Amino acid sequence: MLPGIVLWICFVLAVEARSPHADLIEELVRDNAFSNRISDNILEDALLDLPDLVRKYKYPFEEHFVTTPDGYILGLHRIPHGRDSNNKPGRKPVAFLMHGLLVSSAEYITMGPGSALAYTLAEEGFDVWLGNARGNYFSRQHTTLNPDDRSDLTYWEFSWDEIGNIDLPTMIDYVLDFTGKPALHYIGMSQGTTTFFVMASLRPEYNKKIISMQALAPVAYMAHNNNSLFSVLTPHLRELEILSSVLGIGGLFPRREIYTRLGIRFCSDGAATQPICSNLIFYLTGRNEDQHNATMLPVLAGHAPAGISVRQLIHFGQSIVDKEFRRYDHGLLRNIQVYGRTTPPSYDLSRISAPVYLHYAPNDPLAELEDVYRLYKELGNPRRFLVPHPKFSHADFLFARDVNTLVYGPMIRFMKLYH
């Protein structure tokens, strides 16, 4: 275990030290032309930037920016209508999609038409908006702070508490204002559900802006998490926090071309290393052989990871150690300043009155069944749906072969009941 962690840290530092490579794209195309391993289409999808990727598939794409009260400039993406059906702009119900840890709005797009949720919703008649959390590739700008300043980590002083408490309300208000709607459907995956629970409990006035909340792989309580890497790291959260600030590291896993390069070299069809690559990418989320299709891995690696703060990880670690769902633990003195008490307050889930549909999986190592049941019991207005596949796992909510029939189809039927 320990050598593995040391290797990981070396890898992260090596990626950090590497400057972006201008000739990368040409070089990869040339390499691939010689080895001819992956189709031109997949290579192209891995290399295109997100707006061009969506336009390649003939979908409309808009990029919007909105500034939070504390100065973070967030990138919002929109696919206002479909390509094959519902292909005219018009007054459609809004679906707002929020991504999980380490990724970005791209997670709902990269699998392509016929599979990716953003396209499916557009074809089903929704006006699709995709949020991006502060600190990720699309939301790295700030009115005054600099994410790349290693001597001042102020930019990175946030966890998913701020993403839920500040970013989500800012983005939702912008979308409602822009579309002239009173309310929208919220869809979150993993941390995209955590941040919703933060918003709707700390700022309950936002519940009336939510027609329905569809929670894919819901994460709030993590008391039953049994990941071996986490159990090695979680006893040392405070030390890790101090170490990262001494090293001048506030953010982790920013988007880098080296991931695209590694994805194409080692994860594509025909590469002998493809199974190892699958195991590494899905190490934390678990992997379901029955639903796994490795062909698209180079495309996923071309668009993720997209960057997080150290505190996002520490906060999840606190959820595992404390066995509670509560605000960021700054340590005793700072807790008194921020919360007026020595320990962080719990998020009051009973204040969440919006209808929450929990779509959870039987084999999800990041949303264990006992933890989902506790969440269900404490929410103000919940329903729950177990995905009818015994091995369905965390990442399957995005990448499973049959995700449309197993999850998105039923979910969209629930959403349409409101119209």
Ligand X SMILES: *[C@@H]1O[C@H](CO)[C@@H](O)[C@H](O)[C@H]1NC(C)=O
Chain residues binding ligand X by CB under 6 A are 226, 228, 293, 295-296, 401
Is 278 annotated in the active site?
A: no
Choose, from 105, 190, 201, 212, the residue flagged as catalytic. 190
Token pair recorded at residue 170: 């800012």
- Measured from the CB of residue 37, what is the shortest distance to ligand X in angstroms? 14
Which candidate, 352, 364, 345, places its Cα nearest to that of 225? 364
CB-based contact 377:233 (threshold 8 Å): no
Which CB, 151 or 226, lies closer to ligand X?
226
> What are the start-end ranges of the H helices in 95-206?
117-123, 160-162, 168-179, 191-202
Which CB, 36 or 293, lies closer to ligand X?
293
Locate the DSSP E strands across 347-414.
356-360, 382-386
Which CB, 288 or 312, lies closer to ligand X?
288
- Measured from the CB of residue 269, what is the shortest distance to ligand X in angstroms? 9
Which CB, 111 or 310, lies closer to ligand X?
111
Which CB, 38 or 175, lies closer to ligand X?
38
Is 364 annotated in the active site?
A: yes
40 contacts: CB under 8 Å, gap ≥ 6: none
CB-based contact 64:267 (threshold 8 Å): no
Is 19 annotated in the active site?
A: no
Locate the DSSP E strands across 272-348.
308-309
SS3 call for 326: strand
- Measured from the CB of residue 401, what is the shortest distance to ligand X in angstroms? 5
CA–CA separation, 167 vs 266, rounded Å?
Answer: 36
CA–CA separation, 112 vs 398, rounded Å?
Answer: 11
Which CB, 112 or 125, lies closer to ligand X?
112
- Measured from the CB of residue 93, what is the shortest distance to ligand X in angstroms? 29
Dihedral sign, Cα of residue 175, residue 177, residue 181, residue 184: positive
- Measured from the CB of residue 87, what is the shortest distance to ligand X in angstroms? 23
CB-based contact 251:309 (threshold 8 Å): yes
The letter for the amino acid at 366 is L
Choose, from 364, 371, 389, 393, the residue flagged as catalytic. 364
Give the N- to C-terminal CA distance of the chain in Å, as an integer.
Answer: 52
> What are the start-end ranges of the H helices in 107-167?
117-123, 160-162
- Measured from the CB of residue 303, what is the shortest distance to ligand X in angstroms? 15
The letter for the amino acid at 252 is L
Q: Which residues are catalytic?
A: 190, 364, 394
